[in-house]
Every structure is written in structure tokens, then in C-alpha cells.
Copies of this chain bind each other. A is one copy, B any other.
């Protein structure tokens, strides 16, 4: 999955220490694939997936909008050249003073999932549009979401009615089908729920306009995933089924699906050892781990492809761990990772599909190790 441009960069620049290299061409291709797959949907790139300024600038240039999680991310999107009307404040958990700062910067589209949040928006961002996030069950997702964001659809009706009453625009509904969602039908049930909220409010004379279909679009790790085109077709079919010829405005918020496969982490094998003479499984320690950018290996949730200089040689199972003095800094142990028996201390390995959710997850200085460096090329 490492592109020739990434391989050339690593071969020429030979950066020392672990680093992420991101290929902008791949992101451009991904953006265009989403555009083609869902031509009627607006693309709001989920900035949190990878907020590198080069990425934001390129996407802004391509016409992308931006889903942001904080005032700092709003500033990054503005700095990248996006106008405020292309930015949503998509975090359902906001301090009222942050809502006010976003409003001052021109942001008029906010996510909510409870009346308390609606009241903050009414006070600090009068006249803005809100969409209410509803819970989705996340079935079929490799990483189903907790109930942290969203409310039951029945409550969403109350939340949006409250917004309307307070003079802000009850604009729509959002949901998130779960991260790395490979079930093309996952959007269908959520769209049915969304349609239910539209109908309940329409009876009261409140006409919603937007369905924010969130993210969840996967990146390819070890297994193949459906194409953007396949997602587009399935989602459009569901939209038509539930909304007929009165299609709402739609938004998608790809993050992982936009940048995941554009990045590769270069890492070094620091140590290979056993704990006892008769151990079957080797421990392989890399110079990057859970606290250096691979946080998504938590509970072994995401299993990254790893390329070594000895691919093709006979393999044996390894426990893969990071370089810190933290006993929890182990990436793969329950399901050991097969790596070549010829792998040697000092070898460089490429951890693929690491363009999303790596650099910013990285700890400030845990154990004195620097945060993950990134090169966007």
C-alpha cells in the first residue's frame, strides 16, 4: 500500500526515527471517488482523522467542506482556505464559550444531541442551524461506537422541537454507523430512523432539510473493503427508498476513508527476544507503539498490514510491542502477528494504512519519546 512516491521519499530522505509519510495524490483520488460515488452529497472531511495543514489546504482547494471537533480545528480549516459556511462544528460536546467563539468566526452549523446543548447554541450562536445526532447500533462495524454521541430518535424529535422553539433552525438529523463499517446496508436502518424524525416534526410544521450520514467509510487494512462506488450505490438506494422523490440535502464525513490508505509509518525493529528458552512466540519490539501513534491498536481493534524487508520468507507468530516502559504498550498479543523468521534487529518495517488517527493520537512525550513526526508529500 506504500505508493512509489512514499517509497522514493523514504529511500531519498532516510528520516531517522519513526515517522508517518502521507501521499497527497492518494487523498485526492479518494476525494474524487467519494464525489463520484455520491454526487448529491456534500463532503465534510473529518479533520480529526488527520489535520495536517497540507491535507486541509488540498481538500479546501478541491472544494471539500470540513467537519470539526473543536475551536482549534475550526481555525485550522479556516487557515486552510475554507470559508466558514463550509465548516460544521460537529462535536456534540461543546463549552458554551467555544460555541460563542465558533459563532464569532462565522460558523452557523452545529451538532447537538440533547436540549442542554440546544440551549447553549440558542444563547451563544443565535439563528444558527442545528442537526441532532441519533444513536445508530453500529452493527457490522469493525469498531462499533459507544452510546457516547447521539440520542434515541424519539428524543431527537424533542431536541429539534426545542431548537425550533428557541429560534434556531432545526435543520436536520445526523448519525454515525460505526467506524470501519463494511456492511453496505448499515446506512439503511439509520436512514429509516432519520426519516422517522423528519416525519414526526413535519406533522408539527417543522420541516427538516439535512441528513448528515457521518463517516464510517473504511480503509483497507488486511481485508478488502467495498469501494466508495459500492457505498454510494447502497446509500443512494436507501435514501430513495425512505425519502422517495423528496430527497434531503445530504452530508458525508469521511475521515479514515479519506486519508487512511494515504499514509505509511516507517518504524525500526528495536529488539526481538523470547521470555524463556521454550517460548514459541517471539516478542518483536518496534520504535513506535500504542502511545506513539498506534492508539487504534487498543484492544487489537485495528490490525495494520506490516511490510518487512523479508516478505516472502517463512513466518512465525510474534507478539508486537512498542518501545515504552509501559506494560500496556503492546499492539498485538491475543492474536499474534505473523512476521518473517528472518526479521532482524535494526530492520525497517512499514506499517500501512496509517494515514488516519495516528499523529494526533500520539502522546506528547511519554517516556521521553517524541511524538510521531509526519511528512506530507
Contacts and interface: CB of A to CB of B under 8 A. Distances in A.
Interface stretch (A151-159, A162-170, A187-195, A201-209): A151-159
A96 to B, nearest CB: 8
Nearest to A178: B327
Oligomer: number of copies: 2
Contact of A368 (B51, B330, B364, B371): B51
Interface string A282-300: 0101010001000100100
B361 A363 contact: yes
Contact of A114 (B51, B116, B271, B362): B271
B323 A91 contact: yes
Interface residues of A, number: 76
Nearest to A255: B325
Nearest to A73: B368
A70 B158 CA distance: 54
A69 B325 contact: yes
Contact of A116 (B151, B271, B287, B328): B271
Given A95-B287, A113-B273, A114-B271, 17 more contacts: A48-B324, A48-B366, A69-B368, A72-B370, A91-B323, A91-B325, A93-B270, A93-B285, A95-B270, A117-B271, A149-B327, A151-B273, A179-B327, A291-B295, A359-B364, A360-B366, A364-B364
